[in-house]
């Protein structure tokens, strides 16, 4: 295992286009890579790549996602002072090619060196960036996997996510009555005024455990028309209880309702859960083993909560697999300034190889 080999694999992945819903090139690359290591490989109906190899003891799930946010185009990145950056034409793509390369290089090392290891289920998912759709479609019942690691960006490299947040999207429309701004304004209802008077509770609350954002506001038809409707798309991310989340959304709707009644406007309000919160018990055996690996090499074991969603939200909260996320250390993800430290990736790869070896030798 060396930096040159890791860089070659990472460059191969970053050169491929992989916008959400069009992960075919990455799927082909990862499938062929795993097959050369004697994994049995298949793609499910959603497009997820599922590779499995036998070993000793209980199986472990290793997962990362294949898709990227738009434009998601492949590019030739620039390496300077061990930092890999985008060439400026698109986002780098290390969200989540970094996670993929860690898994591929670690399993390659243990297999090529005949290291004793547990059964490994390597899963590379589609459409993570558009609502964790690939993870939700996964059927892993044939593999009897109960624990695993998700590699994705969140914090500094090697930090684990102890708490993942609930993510609720909300959509609202305020329906007023358009009128001419030069005539009797009492004949119309300005929907934009209703929007501006409503307390949307934007920002942090619940002692920084919840946050609300409105990302899209669409209103009006022309400069010389009092707007008759406003369409809003927002979100709530929170690590409070489900009851607390429901209470907050109810309060948000009631705030809107009161202002609409004041101005004789109507509204629609709907919510959709994208993912549910989860909590990782730091005393779980796999977490403790990872902690031992980190401390054995002189590193510091760090666990933090995050409001950034990942496949772990689905795998843990919905599929009841004891998965935790290890951060790849990618920074400024989703932008042309996205970058990752190659030394961090190599260290994470070595950590995973060490963890797999310890699992294999545990029996």
Question: What pLDDT was estimated at residue 129?
Answer: 93
346-to-5, 109, 303, 324, 331 alpha-carbon distances in Å: 10, 12, 20, 20, 16
Is residue 117 a contact partner of residue 58, using CB atoms and an 8 Å limit?
A: no
Is residue 362 a contact partner of residue 57, using CB atoms and an 8 Å limit?
A: yes
Segment 351-362, tens digit of pLDDT: 999 999 999 987
Domains of the chain, first to last: 3-164+277-360 (3.40.630.10), 166-275 (3.30.70.360)
Helix (H, G, I), strand (E, B) or coil at 33: helix
Segment 296-323 mean pLDDT:
95
Query: Alpha-carbon distance 212 to 132, whole Å?
Result: 20
For residue 107 the two structure tokens come to: 């399993």
Q: What is the mean pLDDT of the chain?
A: 95
Segment 224-242, tens digit of pLDDT: 999 999 999 999 999 999 9
248-to-168, 251, 279 alpha-carbon distances in Å: 11, 5, 20
Question: What pLDDT was estimated at residue 99?
Answer: 97
Helix (H, G, I), strand (E, B) or coil at 305: strand
91 pLDDT more than 70: yes
Question: What pLDDT was estimated at residue 363?
Answer: 64
46 pLDDT more than 90: yes
For residue 263 the two structure tokens come to: 């101005």
Segment 203-229 mean pLDDT:
95
Between CA 307 and CA 314, with CA 309 as vertex, the angle to 5 degrees is 130
Is residue 337 a contact partner of residue 271, using CB atoms and an 8 Å limit?
A: no
Query: Alpha-carbon distance 149 to 301, whole Å?
Result: 15
Query: Alpha-carbon distance 362 to 346, whole Å?
Result: 24
Question: What pLDDT was estimated at residue 72?
Answer: 82
87 pLDDT more than 90: no
| R_g over Cα of the chain | 24
Omega cis (within 30) before 101: no
Query: Alpha-carbon distance 146 to 141, whole Å?
Result: 10
DSSP element (H, E) containing 195: helix 191-197
Query: Alpha-carbon distance 194 to 79, whole Å?
Result: 51
DSSP element (H, E) containing 272: strand 266-275
189-to-115, 172, 210 alpha-carbon distances in Å: 72, 17, 33
Question: What pLDDT was estimated at residue 76?
Answer: 84
1 pLDDT more than 80: no
Q: What percent of the chain has pLDDT over 90?
A: 88
Segment 150-179 mean pLDDT:
95
Segment 88-100 mean pLDDT:
91
252 pLDDT more than 90: yes
């Amino acid at each position: 295992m060396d930096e040159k080999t890791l860089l070659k694999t990472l460059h191969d992945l970053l050169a491929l286009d992989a916008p959400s819903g069009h992960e075919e090139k990455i799927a082909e690359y990862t499938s062929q890579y795993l097959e050369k290591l004697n994994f049995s490989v298949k793609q499910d109906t959603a497009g997820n790549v599922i590779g499995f190899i036998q070993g000793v003891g209980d199986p472990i799930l290793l997962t990362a996602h294949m898709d990227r946010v738009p434009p998601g185009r492949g590019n030739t990145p620039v390496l300077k002072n061990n930092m890999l950056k985008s060439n400026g034409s698109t986002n780098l793509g290390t969200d989540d090619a970094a996670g993929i390369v860690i898994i591929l290089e670690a399993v390659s090392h243990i297999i090529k060196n005949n290291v004793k290891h547990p059964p490994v289920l390597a899963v590379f998912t589609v459409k993570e960036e558009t609502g964790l759709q690939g993870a939700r479609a996964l059927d892993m019942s044939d593999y009897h996997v109960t624990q695993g690691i998700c590699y994705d960006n969140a914090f500094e490299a090697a930090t684990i996510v102890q708490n993942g947040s609930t993510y609720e999207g909300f959509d609202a429309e305020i329906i007023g009555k358009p009128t001419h701004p030069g005539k009797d304004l009492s004949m119309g209802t300005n929907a934009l005024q209703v929007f501006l008077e409503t307390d949307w509770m934007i920002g942090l609350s619940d002692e920084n455990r919840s946050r609300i954002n409105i990302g899209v506001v669409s209103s009006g038809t022309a400069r010389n028309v009092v707007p008759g409707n406003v369409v809003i798309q927002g979100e709530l991310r929170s690590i409070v209880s489900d009851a607390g989340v429901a209470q907050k959304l109810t309060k948000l709707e009631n705030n809107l309702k009161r202002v609409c009644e004041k101005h004789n406007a109507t509204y629609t309000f709907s919510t959709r859960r994208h993912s549910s919160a989860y909590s990782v018990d730091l005393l779980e055996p796999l977490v403790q083993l990872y902690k031992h690996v980190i401390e054995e090499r002189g590193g510091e074991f760090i666990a933090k909560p995050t409001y950034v969603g990942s496949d772990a939200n689905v795998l843990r909260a919905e599929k009841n697999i004891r998965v935790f996320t290890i951060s790849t250390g990618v920074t400024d993800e989703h932008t042309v300034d996205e970058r990752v430290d190659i030394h961090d990736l190599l260290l994470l790869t070595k950590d995973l190889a060490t963890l797999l070896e310890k699992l294999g030798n545990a029996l």
